[in-house]
Structure 1
Amino acid sequence: MNTEVVMQELEALGKERMKKMYVSNGAHEPVFGVATGAMKPLFKQIKINQPLAEELYATGNYDAMYFAGIIADPKAMTVADYDRWIDAAYFYMLSDYVVAVTLSEADIAQEVADTWIASGEELRMSAGWSCYCWLLGNRKDTEFDETKISDMLDLVKNTIHTAPERAKYAMNNFLYTVAVSYIPLHDKAFETAKAVGPVEIIQDKTKSKFLSASENIQKALDKTRIGFKRKHVRC
């Protein structure tokens, strides 16, 4: 199945309601509005296909870029490939749910994510922190350096309130994910979240909302979800 055929298949799966939802979150044309679940039968036909994933990602079509993440071969991608993908990720649904998710299955995940977190660029930072959330929520605790994750908690504590808006979301989620999915630092993550307090997200010039990692950690505690790990990151 080639790029042209896949694009036709995706266009046929598009729904106006989904398109409006994606656009309201930051997607821009071209976009078909395909529900992620509707892509699964197409994935079963194609399976992993990195050359096709590259062609689809390069179209700039949101749905094609998302599907590229599903059929990509994360371990075949280099640092330069991931940098190219994040360069083209023009809003958070691509940076955090396509690029970061794909990266989280690569052997170089932490190396690349560390660079992005240190970049100071909003969507690179967001993708880097999000990648760690996907990693921590899926891989065994023994695969991480406890001192490094502890230092990252300190970094969140010291910088989250002045970070770019999308990075704030991902950093707040990092506090939650460490507390819930990384047992060695559960206590520290919970205490850090309490110290951070509510995080203000400015949605536009007239309104803002507040995130609270500590409240969500408490809810997870109440539901005995501490230690939760996903079996799979990608669908």
Structure 2
Amino acid sequence: MNLESVMQELEALGKERTKKMYLSNGAHEPLFGVATGAMKPIFKKTKINQALADELYATGNYDAMYFAGIIADPNAMKEADYERWMDTAYFFMLSDYVVAVTLSEANIAQEVADKWIASSKELRMSAGWSCYCWLLGNRPDSEFSESKIANMLDLVKSTIHEAPVRAQYAMNNFIYTVAVSYIPMHDKAVEIAKAVGPVEVNKGTKQSKFISAAENIQKAVMKDRLGFKRKHVRC
């Protein structure tokens, strides 16, 4: 399949209701409104195809950019490629669920994510923290430095309340993910969650609300989900 044929198939799968949902979450035109599960039959035709992924991502069409993440070859992408993708990831569903997800399957994942976390740029920070959530929820505990994860938890504790909104969501999820999926730091993550307390996002706006890692951790404990690991990160 080539760019034109994939775009035609994506357009045919578009639903107005799905499109409206994506728009309400921050997507903008162009997009078709394709449910992610509906993309699987196209993937069976394209398989992993990095060249096509780059073409699709460059269209600026949200559905095409999402599908690009599904067919990308994470280890064929260099740091500069991930930076290029982040440059046009204009809202969190791209930064956290396309770029960060793709990066999480690359050998350079932690190296790139560390730089994004330290960038002070909202969506890069969000993608960096989210990448670690995907990593911790999929890879063996032995692949991570306990001291590094502990230091990251301390960083969240000291900065989350003043961080940009999308970074707050990702940092909150990081505490939760460490507690549930990275057993060596479970106790510390629980302590950090309690110390952080509820985090107010979108402060001072009509969208203001509180998110709480501690509450979600408790729910996961009650459901006996400690040690949870995904078999696959991407669809």
Residue aligned with 2:201, SS:
strand
Matching residue of 2:99? 99
**Distance in 2 (alpha carbons) for counterparts of 1:44 and 1:141:** 32
Q: TM-score, normalised by structure 1?
A: 0.99
Matching residue of 1:221? 221
Structure 1 residue 87: Cα displacement:
0.6
CA offsets per residue over residues 160-190 of structure 1, 9 Å max, x none? 0000000000000000000000000000001
Aligned in 2, Cα 1:204/1:16: closer, same or farther, shift over 3 Å? farther
Matching residue of 2:152? 152
Note the aligned Cα RMSD (angstroms): 0.8
What residue identity is the alignment partner of 1:150? A
Matching residue of 2:62? 62
Aligned in 2, Cα 1:82/1:195: closer, same or farther, shift over 3 Å? same
Matching residue of 1:169? 169
Structure 1 residue 206: Cα displacement:
2.7
Corresponding pairs, count: 235
Matching residue of 1:9? 9
Runs (5+) with no aligned partner, structure 1: none
**Distance in 2 (alpha carbons) for counterparts of 1:45 and 1:13:** 15
Asked whether 1:83 is paired with 2:83, we answer: yes
**Distance in 2 (alpha carbons) for counterparts of 1:206 and 1:128:** 27
| Pairs within 5 Å for 1:180-195 | 180-195=180-195
**Distance in 1 (alpha carbons) for counterparts of 2:106 and 2:70:** 14
Structure 1 residue 221: Cα displacement:
0.5
Residue aligned with 2:34, SS:
coil
Asked whether 1:52 is paired with 2:21, we answer: no
Residue aligned with 1:54, SS:
helix
Matching residue of 1:27? 27
Runs (5+) with no aligned partner, structure 2: none
**Distance in 2 (alpha carbons) for counterparts of 1:157 and 1:31:** 37
Q: TM-score, normalised by structure 2?
A: 0.99
Asked whether 1:202 is paired with 2:178, we answer: no
What residue identity is the alignment partner of 2:212? S
